[in-house]
């Protein structure tokens, strides 16, 4: 009975820079750019098919010639018994023999089948008749075979069984493979440059140039402030003389920061598309390897490629992978590969030589952890914050993403935008795609409003699960979710309750959705306490009705603990701790940046204050539900009957007017 959506929605933003609410489900990533193939000279090995065909042909030819000559040295000879050999000598059917040690080779005058029975019928053997033979002379004494051969007029040779290999064959077969391997290594080094044997020193940046479908600012919507900051970059690349005439210089670097999915990568691609210049793109993590010095080598190679193509734009995604603030401690062996890579970037951007004509765009979700030397003017001169869009921006983003989607006349994109506060561009793109998939599954030719509604439920609440729930557990789920809804309605200030469902979705057996009327960027203490009360309403309803609680409130307890700890340790909403930040932001590690660890006494005070706030809110939740138990039970009965209730039905069931009116029935 986990309240997967409403309780998670309670957690406010991590800071006041417009980060989206935590209930938001991250959507699909931006489409990867259509990348042009890497030039033939950049890579570990040559890329031309003709080179590999020639190399393979030479190796096959060398093997064929060797096999042919080696096979020609030893003609196929049949093995015969020594007794059959003596029989053929007595019969005068042996033309010549050659002997070395006990081995005897020779030829018959008339074909003989190997395996004959000797004197009785020497040609009664099996298999095909042969004229070339070989046999072994047994060491049983002197059988005067040489005298017999000479008496029968057989030519006895004294030469070696194997002929000496000609010098040119020794040269070809002995040094041919070596010459081919040396040639391969020479081609690798000439085409790959330094470090071509391993390919580690080469930059892995992908170049996008002269693509027919490059992104432009027409593909960007909802982040107008960030777009305006970058239009100047495009104008400078198009008309540099206008700025140079006044002594202005283009920024060396532009840092794009903001939550995931807000469109930072899309902005960088749009800048390159509008400016019409080469665009080099890669992730910062691609610089770093285990071997020290590889990252710095790749940085040098990347800037060298960009300088040759100048004016050009270089985009480094997830800059914090290599741009973290440097520490005084040294890495293994006194070196730190990440810091060496960062030092090389600092030098290339604003060193002795500099990178003239190259603009570096970088994106990160955590600008606060970047090295100060990287953020100073002369390197990343301009910092652009890409915030989640407001309702107008979301409406514009939906318009962009539905350009290729046939919409029915009943689709109201403004209503969809109003119901998705906190969603970013990637979320909205995912929402449109899910609606289109649902419409296709339902055999429709156009996407209608119902498809958007169902897609929103799927994205926000999770996919419905077809599982069998016992009547008792289903009833407890209805009570739990009704407790969330009733306390959420009764608390003021609070966000309106939009939907309640006891259909199992995702990992929960029921969900309650709350969403604000408008975008919110700040939260007061009363609002946060109200969210804690609402989150604890499900557990309080179970205790009030059944006298005990279940594990269904596990996620609720985790979320209220997180809110209360941030109220006490980050936002100064505790009189005991005071206006002091003693806890780091989520994800920043165990310590507050630049501040020593808090004392055990302070940590104990934080724990005590968190417990006090949660206990007070739980008492409030129990009191509200006890005073309005009939409303709780009425809503639970309606949920059991209809399973899912929308906002009008919820408020009608509990006897309250919808938000906007203070009338209570």
3-class DSSP assignment, residue 155: strand
Higher pLDDT: 555 or 52? It is 555
Percent of the chain with pLDDT over 70: 73
Give the CATH fold of the 391-460 domain: Helicase, Ruva Protein; domain 3 (1.10.8)
The total number of residues written for the chain in this structure: 665
604: DSSP letter: H
- What's the pLDDT at 538? 93
- 540 pLDDT higher than 50: yes
- pLDDT at position 44: 40
Residue 660: which pLDDT band, with cuts at 50, 70 and 90? low
Residues with Cβ < 8 Å from 153, sequence gap 6 or more?
92
**Band of pLDDT at residue 147, cut at 50, 70 and 90:** confident
Q: What does the alpha-carbon distance between residue 362 and residue 221 come to, in Å, rounded to a whole number? A: 20
In the prediction, which pLDDT does 508 show? 82
pLDDT at 464: 79
Whether the pLDDT of residue 312 is over 50: the answer is yes
Find the mean pLDDT for residues 335-352: 76
Give the model's pLDDT for residue 505. 83
182 CB burial (10 A radius; 0-12, 13-18, 19+):
exposed
Give the pLDDT confidence score for residue 398 in this predicted structure.
93
| Euclidean distance between CA atoms 499 and 489, whole angstroms | 12
Closest CA to 617 of 659, 572, 573, 665: 573
The domain defined by 75-157 folds into 3.30.720
Q: What is the pTM of this model?
A: 0.65
**pLDDT for 159:** 60
Bridge partner list, 363 = 256
Alpha-carbon span 61 to 38, nearest angstrom: 32
Of residues 175 and 563, more confidently modeled: 563
Q: pLDDT tier at 631 (50, 70, 90 boundaries)?
A: very high
Distance CA 424, CA 404 (A): 20
* pLDDT at residue 204 tops 70: no
* Amino acid 395: pLDDT: 93
User: 571 or 272: whose pLDDT is higher?
Assistant: 571
Tell whether the model's pLDDT for residue 134 goes beyond 50. yes
Confidence of residue 131 (pLDDT cuts 50, 70, 90): confident
Q: In this predicted structure, what is the pLDDT of residue 304?
A: 84
Cβ pair 360, 282 in contact under 8 A:
no
Would you list the domain boundaries of the chain? 49-72+166-192, 75-157, 206-385, 391-460, 467-654
What is the three-state SS of 252-276?
CEEEEECCCCCCHHHHHHHHHHHHC
Where residue 276 falls (left for φ over 0; alpha for ψ -120 to 50; beta otherwise) is left
Identify which of 401, 405, 643, 316 has the alpha carbon closest to the alpha carbon of residue 509: 643
Tell which residue, 643, 647, 572, 569, has the closest CA to residue 608: 569
> Is 47 in contact with 55 (CB distance < 8 Å)?
no
Least confident of 143-147, 305-309, 329-333, 360-364: 329-333
Reduce the secondary structure of 163-199 to three states and give it as a string.
CCCCHHHHHHHHHHHHHHHHHHHHHHHHHHCCCCCCC
Q: How many helices (H) and strands (E) does the chain have?
A: 22, 14
Percent of the chain surpassing pLDDT 90:
23
Q: Which carries the bigger pLDDT value, residue 42 or residue 299? A: 299
Most confident of 37-41, 61-65, 590-594: 61-65
Q: Encode 434-497 in three state secondary structure.
A: HHHHHHHHCCCCCECHHHHHHHHHHHHHCCECCCCCCHHHHHHHHHHHHHHHHHHHHCCCCCCE
Is residue 296 within 8 A of residue 347, CB to CB? The reply is no
Average pLDDT over the chain reads 77
- Across 202-206, 334-338, 632-636, least confident range: 202-206
Mean pLDDT of 464-471: 82
Q: Classify domain 467-654 at the CATH topology level.
A: Methane Monooxygenase Hydroxylase; Chain G, domain 1 (1.20.58)
Catalytic annotation, pick one of 481, 543, 633, 647? 481
Q: H or E segment at 565?
A: helix 554-569
Q: Examine the pLDDT at 539 and tell me if it is beyond 90.
A: yes
- Bridge-based pairing of strands 130-136 and 103-112 is antiparallel
Residue 298 has what pLDDT?
80
Count the Cβ atoms, other than its own, within 10 Å of residue 213. Answer: 8
Whether the link from the prior residue into 357 is cis, omega within 30° of 0, is: no
Rounded Cα distance, 193 and 150, in Å: 71
21, 33 contact by CB (below 8 A): no
DSSP for 324-372? Answer: BPP-SS--GGG--HHHHHHHHHHHHHHSSS--TTEEEEEEES-GGGB-H
- Decide if 206-385 and 467-654 have a common fold: no
pLDDT band at 205 (very low <50, low <70, confident <90, very high): low
Residue 162 has pLDDT above 80, yes or no: no
Q: How confident is the model at residue 616 (pLDDT cuts 50, 70, 90)?
A: very high
**Nearest Cα to 619, choosing from 527, 537, 557, 524?**
537
The token pair that represents 497 in the structure block: 């309750």
CA distance 71 to 234: 71
Per the annotation, the verdict on 481 as an active-site residue is: yes
Answer whether CATH 2.40.30.10 is correct for domain 206-385: no
Give 2's pLDDT tier (boundaries 50, 70, 90). Answer: very low
pLDDT, position 168: 64
Q: Ranked by mean pLDDT, which of 98-112, 119-133, 465-479 comes out on top?
A: 465-479
* Span 102-116, pLDDT tens digits: 788 888 888 888 876
- What are the C-alpha distances in Å from 77 to residues 73, 105, 134? 12, 8, 6
Are the beta carbons of 552 and 2 closer than 8 angstroms?
Answer: yes
- What is the spatial distance between Cα 653 and Cα 345, in angstroms, rounded to a whole number? 63
In which band, very low, low, confident or very high, does the pLDDT at 422 lie, cut at 50, 70 and 90? confident
- Identify the pLDDT of residue 353: 53
CA distances from 321 to 327, 342, 364, 463 (A): 15, 10, 9, 34
User: 520-532, pLDDT tens digit by residue?
Assistant: 888 899 999 999 9
Between 639 and 42, residue with greater pLDDT: 639
Q: Which residues contact 438 (CB under 8 A, 6 or more apart)?
A: 451, 454, 455, 458
Per-residue pLDDT at 625 exceeds 60: yes
Identify any residues that bridge with 511 across adjacent strands, giving them in sequence order.
Answer: 501
């Amino acid at each position: 009975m986990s309240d997967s959506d409403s309780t998670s929605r309670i957690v406010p933003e991590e800071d006041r820079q417009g980060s989206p609410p935590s209930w938001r489900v991250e959507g699909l990533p931006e489409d990867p750019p259509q990348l042009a193939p890497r030039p033939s000279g950049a890579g570990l090995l040559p890329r031309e098919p003709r080179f590999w065909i020639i190399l393979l042909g030479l190796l096959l030819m060398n093997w064929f010639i060797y096999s042919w000559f080696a096979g020609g040295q030893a003609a196929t000879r049949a093995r015969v018994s020594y007794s059959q050999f003596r029989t053929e000598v007595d019969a005068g059917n042996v033309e010549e023999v050659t002997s070395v040690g006990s081995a005897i080779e020779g030829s018959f005058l008339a074909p003989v089948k190997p395996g004959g029975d000797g004197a009785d019928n020497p040609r009664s053997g099996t298999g095909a008749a042969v004229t070339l033979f070989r046999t072994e002379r047994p060491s049983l004494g002197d059988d005067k075979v040489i005298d017999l051969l000479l008496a029968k007029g057989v030519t006895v040779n004294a030469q070696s069984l194997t002929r000496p290999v000609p010098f040119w064959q020794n040269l070809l077969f002995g040094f041919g493979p070596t010459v081919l391997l040396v040639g391969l290594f020479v081609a690798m080094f000439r085409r790959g440059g330094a470090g071509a044997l391993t390919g580690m020193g080469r930059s892995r940046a992908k170049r996008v140039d002269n693509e027919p479908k490059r992104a432009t600012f027409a593909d960007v919507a909802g982040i107008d402030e960030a777009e305006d900051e970058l239009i100047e970059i495009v104008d400078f690349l198009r008309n540099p003389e206008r700025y140079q005439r006044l002594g202005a210089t283009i920024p060396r670097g532009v840092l794009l920061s903001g939550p995931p999915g807000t469109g930072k990568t899309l902005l960088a691609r749009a800048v390159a598309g509008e400016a019409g210049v080469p665009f080099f793109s890669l992730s910062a993590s691609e610089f770093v390897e285990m071997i020290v010095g590889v990252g710095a080598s790749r940085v040098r190679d990347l800037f060298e490629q960009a300088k040759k193509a100048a004016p050009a734009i270089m985009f480094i995604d997830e800059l914090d992978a290599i741009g973290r603030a440097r520490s005084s401690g040294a890495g293994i062996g006194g070196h730190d590969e990440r810091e060496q890579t960062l030092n090389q970037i600092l030098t290339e951007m604003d060193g002795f030589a500099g990178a003239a004509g190259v603009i570096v765009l970088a994106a990160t979700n955590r600008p606060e952890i970047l090295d100060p030397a990287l953020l100073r003017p002369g390197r990343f001169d301009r910092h652009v914050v890409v915030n989640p869009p407001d309702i107008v921006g979301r409406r514009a983003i939906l318009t962009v993403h539905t350009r290729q989607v046939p919409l029915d006349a009943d689709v109201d994109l403004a209503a969809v935008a109003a119901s998705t506060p906190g969603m970013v561009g990637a979320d909205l793109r995912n929402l449109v795609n899910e609606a289109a998939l649902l419409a296709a599954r339902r055999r429709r030719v156009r996407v209608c409003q119902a498809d958007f509604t169902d897609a929103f439920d799927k994205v926000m609440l999770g996919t419905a699960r077809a599982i069998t729930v016992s009547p008792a557990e289903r009833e407890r789920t209805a009570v739990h979710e009704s407790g969330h809804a009733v306390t959420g309605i009764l608390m003021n200030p609070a966000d309106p309750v939009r939907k309640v469902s006891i259909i199992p979705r995702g990992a929960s057996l029921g969900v309650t959705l709350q969403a604000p009327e408008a975008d919110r960027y700040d939260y007061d203490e009363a609002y946060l306490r109200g969210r804690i009360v609402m989150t604890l309403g499900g557990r309080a309803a179970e205790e009030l009705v059944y006298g005990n609680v279940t594990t269904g409130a596990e996620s609720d307890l985790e979320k209220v603990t997180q809110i209360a700890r941030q109220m006490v340790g980050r936002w100064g909403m505790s009189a005991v701790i005071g206006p002091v930040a003693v806890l780091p932001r989520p994800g920043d590690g165990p310590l507050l940046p630049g501040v020593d660890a808090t004392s055990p006494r302070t940590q104990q005070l934080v724990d005590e204050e968190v417990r006090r706030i949660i206990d007070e809110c739980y008492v409030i939740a129990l009191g509200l539900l006890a005073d309005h138990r009939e409303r709780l039970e009425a809503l639970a009965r309606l949920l059991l009957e209809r399973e899912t209730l929308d906002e009008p039905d919820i408020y009608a069931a509990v006897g309250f007017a919808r938000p906007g009116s203070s009338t209570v029935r």
